Chains A and B, each alone.
Chain A
Amino acid sequence: MIQDTPDIVVTGLAAISAAGVGVEPLVTAVRGGQSCLTPVPEAIAGRAGLRWGKAEKFRAADFMPPLKARKFDRCSLLATVATGMALADAGVTKDSLAPERVGITMGSGFGGITNSEEFLTGYFQKGVDGLTPMLFPNTVANAAASNASIEHHLQGPNVTTVQRFCSAENAFQLACRFIAEGRADVMVTGGVDELTSRMLQGFQALGQNRSFAADYAEGCGLLVLERRSHAEARGARIMGEVTAISTLGLIPAGRESQAVSQLLPSESPKRLCLSGTADLLPAFAALLPDTPRICLPQVTGRSIAMGGLSMVALVATLGAGEQGLHLAASPEGPYYAISFTGGKPV
């Protein structure tokens, strides 16, 4: 399925990752090819040799009073702070645009799970006396995007998506459609992930610590999208353009080559970005062997909604007029190919 994107441009970026807080540390890590993964403490992992992509440099207290930060779960903190960073990068302030014309779509990796675990733990250990009502509202997967919308007064379309390793791409597709249909003028979109020791325990129980959940990460990568005409009218800096979005839900047996040719654009990109589990798929990993590529699983780690950070890294490193291709996959599908043209390198 191919979606045309009528003149949608990127005017803001934000990143919080294992590389640090901000787009620059992420770009530096990508350009330097350095791994920001660190060992998981044995006390948490139960064994040595595991790595994770913890956003250890992110401290909520750097952005809001500690008392305020306490009411958020970590996923919401990451999303709320990154949304503020993305809007500021795009030059959008609370009063500069009508709030109902600014929306948010966000892929969520295990959003709400931390609060769900904490809420249920109280109940399982102490019965009704162990229930903490204030935890419950943030057990929903949309807590991160919704808390961000409340904090930044975004009253436009507000959608959270979860679709395995293509959660952020799914959200990105919605954002482009909402702009194309005139449902919003500006959309904040991307993905947010949290990582807890209980999650690692779950991955281990399922035997995923050695496969897709190896080097698991947390963080938030967001892009600000709008129509070119809207961006130009408000004098925004244009950092890139979304030229095409293509997706498939799954690849039926025997139709692999048709699927790949249907998914990929005809033009060869100058830069390739592999996200989700695309680097583990031979059909994708072997593409364009001589093309410079970004592969965040090896830099900041792999996670459900890592597509947000991957797209930020791609757009931030594209030269003016350069074609970039973001390829994302999940083991059972879906698959995404999102084409960007560079504006000005960050």
Chain B
Amino acid sequence: MSRERVVITGLGVFCGAARDIPGFRRAVIDGTSGVGPVDLFDVSAFPSHIAVQVKGFDPVAHFGRRTAAKLSRADQFGLIAAGEALGDSGIAGGYDSFAMGVVVGAGAAGMFQSEQWLAAALQERQISPSLLRGILPDKTSTVIAETFGLAGYQGTITTACSSSATAIGWGADLVATGKLDAVVCGGSDTLSMLTFAGFNSLKVVDPEPCAPFSLGRQGITLGEGAAFLVLERESVAAQRGAKVYGAVLGYAMAGEAHHMTAPDPTGQVAARLMHDAMANAGIAKGDVGWVNAHGTGTPLNDVVESNAMKRVFGERAGSVPLISTKPITGHCLGAAGAIEAVATMLALGERTIPKTLHFRGRDPECDLDYCHDSARPATATVAMSNSFAFGGNITSLVLGL
């Protein structure tokens, strides 16, 4: 099936590391971590007290009291990031409402508010039921569609940590095949007691800032935020003289069908995924300059992902840097794929391979090039961004200039 090239004409981000694209570009290129103490809820009972939280966020200042009360924290972050992306693209008024759509990748969604209702219900305390309005993860897509008049399509992908990577791939499908002229796609997710307690209960949270691919790493650092991309067909974007960041060249997704939480230790399916993504993008292995890893910092994931890279790139694996931007942003779960896609696109544009922060020493099982020492200038015009999730839902995006 012939597909027209899908270009990225707008970017938006709102997360613990930075609250707009210029700030996020600096954080990614300079390697500035947003990790700090959590004050959104009480974490004193857990081994880890840190995350990449959006600190001091005042929704009333952004939306006014009445609107803010109707939105979950995930809706609020999503609206801000999608608004930046749409404003950046300049498509307002450029297309009919029915020719534009929205695809959101979501995770815990409105759980931060919903769990407050549950806590009150358990104590038989009266509390506003409006806290439950965002419990379904589709709410963010609806408020974005309504706010910006995107009437052609509304969709929400909920595959945990790969949600928003898949949302970008699906958004690219919708415009490539002419079903929509423009789509805003990405993801939003926030910290919640559910996920903070959950990952801590599984003992996969590092008490120190996460250190992907390092010796002595103990797990993830959670984060929160939202990121969105505006996608259009190249010919249509060119007609209106749009600024173009690059392109979503292709993607693939798969189910490992192995285990709900553990990755397939052989890395076989992850390797097939990367092969399929490159094939879908119509590129060869030699075209890929570097890979933005899922790179959570858990002992097992980082080894499996490194092994999958070896299966894909063979002898060349050591010369394809496998980096992780999660030490900068934290693991933003449902929004991770989109935040990392934006980071990848910005780094490609700056001709820089970002540094993987918080190096603690070389792990003999992680023996590839992770850019632990410093960010690096690069001529690469193509990079991949991997997102792996609970349930074995894995997605790989291929992005290019």
**Chains A and B form a bound pair:** yes
Interfacial residues of chain B within 114-169, with CB under 8 A of chain A in the complex? 115, 117-119, 121-122, 129-130, 132-133, 135-138, 141-142, 145-146, 149-160, 166
Judge whether B160 and A249 touch: CB under 8 Å.
no
Task: Spot the interface stretch: B52-60, B234-242, B250-258, B289-297.
Answer: B250-258
What is the minimal beta-carbon distance from A59 to any residue of chain B, in angstroms? Answer: 23
Partner of A146, one of B129, B157, B390: B390
1/0 contact trace for B193-213 toward A, CB 8 Å? 110011111110000000000
Q: A2 in the interface, Cβ–Cβ < 8 Å? A: yes
A167–B136 alpha-carbon span in the complex (Å): 11
Q: B46 in the interface, Cβ–Cβ < 8 Å? A: yes
Partner of A248, one of B132, B152, B160, B174: B152
Judge whether A136 and B255 touch: CB under 8 Å.
no
Q: A142 in the interface, Cβ–Cβ < 8 Å? A: yes
Question: Which residues of A are found within 8 Å of B133, using beta-carbon distances?
Answer: 206
Partner of B159, one of A1, A154, A159, A259: A159
What is the minimal beta-carbon distance from B142 to any residue of chain A, in angstroms? Answer: 5
Task: Spot the interface stretch: A61-69, A118-126, A217-225, A307-315.
Answer: A118-126
What is the minimal beta-carbon distance from B103 to any residue of chain A, in angstroms? Answer: 10
Main secondary structure of the interface of B (DSSP, over half): mixed
A124–B203 alpha-carbon span in the complex (Å): 19
What is the minimal beta-carbon distance from A305 to any residue of chain B, in angstroms? Answer: 11
Closest to B203 in A: A133
1/0 contact trace for A107-127 toward B, CB 8 Å? 010110100110111011101
Q: A285 in the interface, Cβ–Cβ < 8 Å? A: no
Question: Which residues of B are found within 8 Å of A121, using beta-carbon distances?
Answer: 118, 122
Q: A170 in the interface, Cβ–Cβ < 8 Å? A: yes
Q: A140 in the interface, Cβ–Cβ < 8 Å? A: yes
Closest to A109 in B: B136
On whether A128 and B255 interact (CB within 8 A), knowing A113-B135, A163-B141, A251-B151, the answer reads no
Judge whether A141 and B151 touch: CB under 8 Å.
no
Judge whether B106 and A333 touch: CB under 8 Å.
no
Judge whether A250 and B151 touch: CB under 8 Å.
yes
Q: A150 in the interface, Cβ–Cβ < 8 Å? A: yes
Task: Spot the interface stretch: A38-46, A174-182, A231-239, A273-281.
Answer: A174-182
On whether A156 and B158 interact (CB within 8 A), knowing A146-B260, A332-B146, the answer reads no
A170–B180 alpha-carbon span in the complex (Å): 15
Question: Which residues of B are found within 8 Å of A146, using beta-carbon distances?
Answer: 159, 255, 260, 390-393
Name the residue in B201, B255, B261, B392 with the highest tally of chain A Cβ atoms < 10 Å from its Cβ: B255
Judge whether B136 and A110 touch: CB under 8 Å.
yes
What is the minimal beta-carbon distance from A264 to any residue of chain B, in angstroms? Answer: 14
Question: Which residues of A are found within 8 Å of B228, using beta-carbon distances?
Answer: none
A104–B257 alpha-carbon span in the complex (Å): 11
A11–B166 alpha-carbon span in the complex (Å): 27
Judge whether B391 and A249 touch: CB under 8 Å.
no
Task: Spot the interface stretch: B5-13, B64-72, B94-102, B320-328.
Answer: B94-102
On whether A252 and B198 interact (CB within 8 A), knowing A116-B111, A157-B254, A161-B158, the answer reads no
Judge whether B392 and A124 touch: CB under 8 Å.
no
Closest to B3 in A: A181
What is the minimal beta-carbon distance from B233 to any residue of chain A, in angstroms? Answer: 14
Question: Which residues of A are found within 8 Å of B130, using beta-carbon distances?
Answer: 206
Question: Which residues of B are found within 8 Å of A205, using beta-carbon distances?
Answer: 117, 129, 132
Partner of B257, one of A153, A167, A180, A333: A153
A207–B129 alpha-carbon span in the complex (Å): 9
Partner of B166, one of A159, A198, A304: A159
Partner of A160, one of B122, B157, B180, B194: B157
Q: B191 in the interface, Cβ–Cβ < 8 Å? A: no
For the complex of A and B, list the 10 residue pairs with the smallest distance between their C-beta atoms, beginning with the closest. A146-B391, A158-B255, A205-B129, A249-B154, A141-B158, A136-B198, A133-B201, A137-B260, A131-B201, A149-B255
Question: Which residues of B pack against A, CB within 8 Å?
Answer: 1, 45-46, 97-98, 101-102, 106-107, 111, 115, 117-119, 121-122, 129-130, 132-133, 135-138, 141-142, 145-146, 149-160, 166, 170, 173-174, 177, 179-180, 193-194, 197-203, 252-261, 269, 272, 389-393
Return 8 A-B CB contacts under 8 Å, by A number.
A119-B198, A120-B115, A124-B119, A150-B392, A160-B158, A183-B252, A248-B153, A250-B151
Given contacts A119-B198, A158-B392, 9 further A-B contacts (CB under 8 A): A2-B179, A108-B158, A111-B158, A128-B200, A150-B257, A162-B137, A162-B138, A163-B138, A170-B155
